[in-house]
Amino acid sequence: MRGYIPRKIYMPFTYKMMIPYLVLVLLTDVLIGYISYTMLIQSRTEMAETNIRTALKQTRNNIQYQLDEIQRMSNTLFTSITFQNALQNRGEPLEVMLKMRDDMIPQMKAPLQLYGNKIRLAVYTVNDKMLEVPGDNMSTPINRSDYYVLSSQSIENTEWFKSILSLNKNNLWMQIDTDSQLDNISHFRKLVDSSGISSVIGYVRVTARFDELLGNFDTFPIEQGISLRLIDVATGANLYMRGAPDEQIYQGSYLSVREEIPGTNFVIETLVPYAYLNKDASRMQKVIGTVCLISFLVMAFIGFIVARLSGKKMKRIVTLIRSFQEGNFLKRIEFSGNDEFVQIANSFNKMATSIQELIENVYVQGIQKKQAELDVLQAQISPHFLYNTLSTIGSLANLGEVQKVTKMVKALSKFYRLTLNGGQVYIPIGKELEQVESYLEIQKVKHADAFKVYYDIDPEIKPIPIIKLILQPFVENVFKHAWFGETIAIRITGKRLGDRIELKIIDNGIGMRSETLKRMLSNTIHLDRYGLRNVEERIKLRYGTDFGIHIASYYGAGTTVQIILPIENTEMRENEEQLS
């Protein structure tokens, strides 16, 4: 039972083209959608980031302003001579109390009333005669502005005071005592006697709440995952934080925006989750996806209509091609309009007219190629060379030079045997060199060894076949045109250059002037003087225009002929494939 062979389903080319067209439209819609989505998200992210940065700068300016205000309070007390004198008064208790009431307390209360937020201003005095003015308990949150006059002995044994003294620094912003638990920060500085002794007469501490320093948090929606914190870059510690705790920050993906506070080691940092920045992504994705889907459907419908219209014209073109396949070149096709189908129809019509001419041209070129081979073969079997050689042999025979006669006859026989080569066009490079050597053997007898020949041939290239009779014409030209002295030297080289073969014939003869060489290379003079025309035409016929002959000559110094041939012989390989 014969197996069932399924028939291939016929699909017009225009409908096949619909597949890549639809793929292209789909990819284009996806790409445009992706770019649109990315740009919208990026725009939304940049807008949100800009708002966050603007708010953060405002917060930085606010805290910097308040820190400067507190610094000015401290500077006022530090530079006030009246305040210093009152702080150092060691008189009677009544006198000390009056001095405090008139000179100290007003200078402490005034900035508290002018400062907008709630702060605590404490002065620690080393004067044991000074009366203390206790305020609210410092371990409780700051609910109102208050001032204190306390003895320095109350803080001398505390760890935070000892750490400040060990730093040997002054005018510091840091968290001391209970500030860390209460989310406060304090400004601490020494008060020094300005009378010239420069001794410490006390300390000033101004404590403020972080939430009031940082200002309004409405611009930082903490409930949506945004966190705000104040960091001491010197220690790396988080001094204050609002929003997500540290463990959530380390587990999530956040955008970090920082602003440094000039004059301090503090940095305000806002951590914004990318989920907040991309919160509208889902809605935008749906809208863009819907638009892209509608665009794809519209483009698919348009493509289908175009495919149907184009299919009719393509069918007529296929019919014309089938008639060409059957050998009928008389049919023609006409389309109206001015588009690609009209150009295709005109091209087919012209092709039908020129096919016969093309066949004829190819046939004529083949005949010309064979004729060129025949002409060059006949040209090389020069009767003049043969007559001269036979004449020389006859003269030598009359003189009784039997050995030289024998040598010339053998060389002449070998020369023509290799030249004819059984009618074969190609010959190994080694055989080509033997043909040159046989020619030179004849010349040695005629010229009594008045010239020298040197060979530098890479053994690797000797088996490679090349077209015959490409070296001997140039060697012959040395004797005809280059030899003007008593002696001459000839050097023949051959080597491999990648996928090519380079053969050179070098002589130290008379050479050519530069203008003569230029005219010869531009085909403005008769090229046969150096055997160029026959060899050049045969090389280009067999191997193509990429290969050929190059000549370099210097008048009075000699001439170099370079022959470039391919290693791979396409024509021989095709002939072998046809025979096999």
From 154, 188, 163, 158, select the one nearest 174 (Cα to Cα): 188
Amino acid identity, position 252: G
Indicate yes or no: pTM above 0.75: no
Could you list the pLDDT tens digit for every one of the 580 residues in the chain?
Answer: 444 445 556 666 666 777 787 888 888 888 888 888 788 777 777 787 788 788 888 888 888 888 888 889 889 888 889 998 888 888 888 888 998 898 889 998 888 888 888 999 999 999 888 888 888 888 899 999 999 999 989 888 898 898 888 888 888 888 888 888 888 999 999 998 877 666 888 999 999 988 888 776 556 666 677 788 888 887 888 888 877 655 555 555 777 888 888 878 888 888 887 777 777 666 777 888 888 888 888 888 887 787 777 777 777 777 777 777 766 666 677 777 676 777 777 777 777 777 766 766 665 566 566 556 655 554 554 565 676 677 777 777 777 777 777 877 887 787 777 777 766 778 899 998 988 888 888 888 888 778 899 999 999 999 999 988 888 888 888 888 888 778 889 999 999 998 999 999 999 888 888 887 777 766 544 445 445 677 887 788 778 888 889 898 888 888 999 999 998 876 666 666 555 5
The string of pLDDT tens digits covering residues 207-241 is 998 888 877 655 666 667 778 888 888 788 888 88
CA distance 177 to 120: 13
Residue 230 region by backbone torsions, left for phi larger than 0, else alpha for psi between -120 and 50, else beta = beta
Where do the H-state alpha helices sit in 115-202? 159-167, 179-182
Are 380 and 470 contacting, i.e. CB atoms less than 8 angstroms apart?
no
Segment (H or E) for 492? strand 488-497
The residues facing 202 across adjacent strands are 125, 191
Task: Tell me 567's DSSP state.
Answer: S
| Burial (0-12, 13-18, 19+ Cβ within 10 Å), 402 | exposed
Token couple for 130: 């000074």
DSSP string, 200-252: EEEEEEEEEEHHHHH---TTS-GGGT-EEEEEETTTTEEEEEESS-HHHHHHS
CA distance 542 to 535: 11
* 518-525 long-range Cβ contacts below 8 angstroms, 24+ apart: 520/551, 521/551
Amino acid identity, position 24: L
Calculate Rg over the CA atoms of the chain.
53
Nearest-10 Cα torsion for 159, 163, 169, 174: -70
CA distance 476 to 388: 14
Q: Is the dihedral of CA 445, 448, 449, 451 positive or negative?
A: negative
CA distance 255 to 273: 6
The residues facing 428 across adjacent strands are 465
CA 9 to chain centre: 46
CA distance 331 to 340: 20
According to the model, what pLDDT value does residue 506 have?
A: 93
According to the model, what pLDDT value does residue 500 have?
A: 92
CA distance 165 to 200: 12
Token couple for 126: 């080393």
CA distance 176 to 174: 6
CA distance 456 to 492: 6
From 514, 512, 501, 503, select the one nearest 475 (Cα to Cα): 503
